[in-house]
């Protein structure tokens, strides 16, 4: 069965052209004026007035993850369905090593979680939380599992955090083996120490989350991580950057030619620290680590989206119910009613990233549509070894395609979203620009507000070798 997407404007990370797209099976097989190549049984999708963009790639998600005394509320089906409604056709989730077990064991555990549920395509990074000699020796071998990126945490003391000795060692070993290291950059020792003092003084209000996770806590760890890149010369991708000073350190590192890359998240484009600082428990909805920072930090994030310091916009999708006491729900944010320190850290967003970035970035004139495609799809594909199968509308690529109406208005709300969670951090925000159709490997998963996908359609995409340093 052939499909022709006809009369649209194809936006890529490098250029924009008016052309038709021929899809045969799962692949794009021709691009151009295809009128004379039409066959009578071709399915025609009219795309006049629409933008034809590569499906979004979210390189940072946590589906079905045990965390904070509970688990994230979207699994690999509900999360994928929501992602597709929001134009994301591939994501990279974080598998986590269990202490005392191998990295491969962690990867296999996450592959099982996803296999029968997946509705869009996916891959994994593996988080190294038990950096023994055996674990570190295993890092160069993970390509055999189709994985070429590892993650380390400089925060979450006594849970995921590794120390500087291990960080330096891992970065060196991974770099030599062609494996990309990702890092959560906050100073976990400082967070633990400040938290202990705050709690001892009875400071349990939500606003103290921002005190324990202040901008300097993130900036210090980010600068240290950049310095470790200078020592090892190994590539590093810093996840969910929210601090202006952290970004300035990354910018300086890049100016020196260091192979350091930065990801921010869509929630940092709209939220500031004020979101948490409410007098009621509403602020718990926005508790994540690192938390959104000041308006100044947000301004630097905007600058860095435009000037190339930031390569990708992800979500760090890690949803917890606001009220997890209802039937069929996991415990949620209410776990922290007595103290900010017990609120599960994470926010939902897998469905909203594409439209929020378009609205905040393109509609405001901050970035152009090509840069939008780079930030939402192409750069993640290039960095993580998915390109050119994913992240581009090109002959031979998977037909992961978004038909996007740049004039269509949509009001974001938990009452209409598809994420398995009872609130939305963009509640009430009106965006201009919304999808009308989303295809994954040639199959339409979403048409207007209709769901046409199914569990089990999504495929694990092996990335045995990492991509490019951008």
Question: Residues in the site for Zn ion, rule: CB under 5 A?
Answer: 184, 316
Q: Which is nearer to ligand URP, 90 or 289 (CB)?
A: 289
Q: Could you tell which of Zn ion, ligand URP, none binds residue 346, using a CB distance below 5 to 8 A set by kind?
A: ligand URP
- Decide: residue 99, CB within 10 A, 0-12 exposed, 13-18 middle, 19+ buried: exposed
Task: Give me the least distance between CB of 23 and ligand URP, in Å please.
Answer: 35
Q: Are the C-beta atoms of residues 169 and 202 closer than 8 Å to each other? A: no
Q: Which is nearer to Zn ion, 124 or 434 (CB)?
A: 124
Residues 372-411 that bind ligand URP (CB under 6 A): none
Beta bridge partners of 443: 440
Contact, 315 vs 60, CB < 8 A?
A: yes
Say which entry of ligand URP, Zn ion, none residue 288 contacts (CB below 5 to 8 A, set by partner kind).
Answer: ligand URP
As measured in angstroms, the least distance from the Cβ of 451 to ligand URP is 27
**Least distance to ligand URP, CB of residue 345, Å:** 3
Question: Which of the listed partners (ligand URP, Zn ion, none) does 313 bind, with a CB threshold of 5 to 8 Å by partner kind?
Answer: none
Nearer of residues 186 and 273 to Zn ion, judged by Cβ: 186
CB of 143 to ligand URP, least distance (A): 24
Asked if 32 and 5 touch (Cβ cutoff 8 Å), the reply is no
What is the DSSP secondary-structure string of 397-439?
SB--EEEEEEEEEEE--TTT--SSSS--TTTT-EEEEEEEEEE
Looking only at the bridges linking them, the beta strands covering 2-6 and 20-24 are antiparallel
User: Which residues, other chains included, contact 245 with Cβ-Cβ below 8 Å and sequence gap of 6+?
Assistant: 215, 216, 218, 219, 222, 223, 297
Report whether the peptide linkage leading into residue 443 is cis, meaning its omega lies within 30 degrees of zero. Answer: no
Give me the least distance between CB of 446 and ligand URP, in Å please: 26
Give least dist CB 290 to ligand URP, A.
Answer: 7
Q: In degrees, to the nearest 5, what angle opens at C-alpha 238 toward C-alphas 384 and 377? A: 40
Q: Cα–Cα distances in Å, from 289 out to 44, 122, 182, 299?
A: 46, 24, 15, 19
Task: Annotate each residue in 314-333 with x if it binds ligand URP (CB under 6 A) or - if it does not, as one string.
Answer: --x-x---------------
Site for ligand URP in 280-309 (CB under 6 A): 288-289
Q: Detail the DSSP E strand segments found in 266-400.
A: 312-314
Identity of the residue, 20 or 316, whose beta carbon is nearer to Zn ion in the bound complex: 316
Q: Which of 10, 59, 62, 440 binds ligand URP (CB under 6 A)?
A: 62
Cα-Cα-Cα-Cα torsion 325, 326, 329, 330, nearest 10 degrees, comes to 10
Taking the least distance from each CB to ligand URP, the nearer of 288 and 466 is 288
Residue 9: CB minimum distance to Zn ion, A: 34
Interaction between residue 123 and ligand URP (CB under 6 A) = no
Minimum CB separation of residue 73 from ligand URP in Å reads 13
The number of residues that bind ligand URP (CB under 6 A) is 8
Selected from 243, 345, 378, 444, the binder of ligand URP by CB under 6 A is 345
Which residues within the stretch 148-207 sit at the binding site for ligand URP (CB under 6 A)?
184
Alpha helices, DSSP H, located in 178-273: 188-200, 207-212, 215-232, 244-255, 267-270
**For ligand URP, the closer CB: 6 or 187:** 187
Output 31 or 288, the one with its CB closest to Zn ion.
288
Tell me which residues in 78-117 interact with ligand URP (CB under 6 A): none
Q: How far apart, in whole angstroms, are the C-alpha atoms of residue 207 and residue 98?
A: 32
- For the bound state, the minimum distance from the C-beta of residue 71 to ligand URP, rounded and expressed in Å, comes to 12
Q: At what angle do helices 215-232 and 244-255 cross, to 10 degrees?
A: 20
Q: Judged by CB, which is closer to ligand URP: 72, or 223?
A: 72
Residues 6 or more apart in contact with residue 337 via CB below 8 angstroms: 281
- Kindly identify the residues of this chain, within the stretch 346-365, that bind ligand URP according to CB under 6 A: 346
Residue 183 C-beta: closest distance to Zn ion, Å: 9
Distance of CA 86 to the CA centre of its chain: 13
- Distance CA(55)–CA(84), nearest Å, equals 9
Q: Which is nearer to Zn ion, 220 or 316 (CB)?
A: 316
Task: Give 239 or 258: the residue with its C-beta nearer to ligand URP.
Answer: 239
Q: Which residues bind ligand URP (CB under 6 A)?
A: 62, 184, 288-289, 316, 318, 345-346
């Amino acid at each position: 069965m052939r499909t022709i997407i006809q009369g649209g404007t194809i936006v890529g990370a490098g250029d924009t052209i008016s052309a038709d797209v021929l899809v045969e099976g799962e692949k794009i097989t021709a691009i151009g004026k295809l009128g004379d190549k039409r066959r009578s049984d071709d399915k025609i999708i009219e795309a006049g007035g629409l933008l034809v963009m590569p499906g979004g790639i979210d390189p940072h998600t946590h589906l079905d993850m045990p965390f904070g005394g509970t688990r994230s509320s979207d699994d690999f089906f509900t999360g994928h369905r929501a992602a597709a409604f929001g134009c994301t056709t591939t994501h990279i989730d974080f598998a986590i090593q269990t202490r005392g077990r191998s990295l491969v064991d962690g990867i296999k555990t996450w592959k099982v979680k996803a296999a029968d549920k997946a509705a869009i395509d996916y891959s994994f990074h593996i988080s190294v939380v038990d950096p023994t000699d055996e674990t570190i020796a295993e890092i160069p071998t993970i390509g055999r599992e189709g994985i070429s990126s590892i993650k380390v945490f400089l925060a979450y003391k006594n849970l995921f955090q590794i120390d500087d000795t291990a960080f330096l060692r891992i970065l060196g070993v991974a770099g030599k083996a062609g494996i990309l290291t990702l890092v959560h950059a906050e100073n976990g020792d400082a967070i633990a120490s400040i938290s202990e003092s705050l709690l001892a003084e009875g400071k349990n209000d939500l606003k103290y989350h921002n005190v324990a996770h202040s901008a300097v806590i993130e900036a210090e760890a980010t600068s240290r991580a950049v310095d470790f890149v200078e020592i090892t010369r190994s590539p590093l991708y810093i996840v969910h950057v929210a601090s202006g000073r952290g970004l300035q350190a990354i910018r300086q590192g890049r100016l020196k030619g260091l192979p350091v890359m930065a990801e921010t998240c869509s929630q940092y484009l709209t939220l500031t620290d004020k979101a948490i600082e409410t007098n009621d428990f509403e602020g718990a909805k926005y508790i994540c680590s690192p938390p959104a920072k000041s308006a100044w930090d947000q301004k630097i994030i905007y600058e860095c989206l435009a000037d190339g310091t930031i390569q990708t916009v992800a979500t760090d999708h890690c949803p917890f119910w606001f009220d997890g006491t209802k039937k069929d729900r996991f415990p949620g944010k209410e776990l922290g009613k007595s103290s900010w320190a017990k609120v599960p850290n994470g926010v939902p967003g897998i469905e909203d990233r594409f439209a929020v970035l378009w609205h905040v970035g393109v509609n405001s004139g901050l970035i152009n549509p090509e840069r939008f495609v780079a930030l939402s799809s192409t750069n993640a594909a290039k960095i993580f070894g998915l390109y050119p199968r994913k992240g581009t509308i090109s002959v031979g690529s998977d037909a992961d395609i978004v038909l996007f109406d740049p004039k269509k208005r949509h009001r974001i709300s938990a009452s209409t979203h598809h994420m398995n969670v009872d609130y939305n951090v963009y509640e009430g925000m009106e965006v201009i620009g919304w999808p009308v159709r989303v295809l994954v490997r040639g199959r339409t998963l979403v048409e207007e507000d209709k769901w046409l996908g199914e569990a089990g359609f999504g495929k694990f995409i092996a990335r045995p070798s990492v991509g490019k340093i951008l």
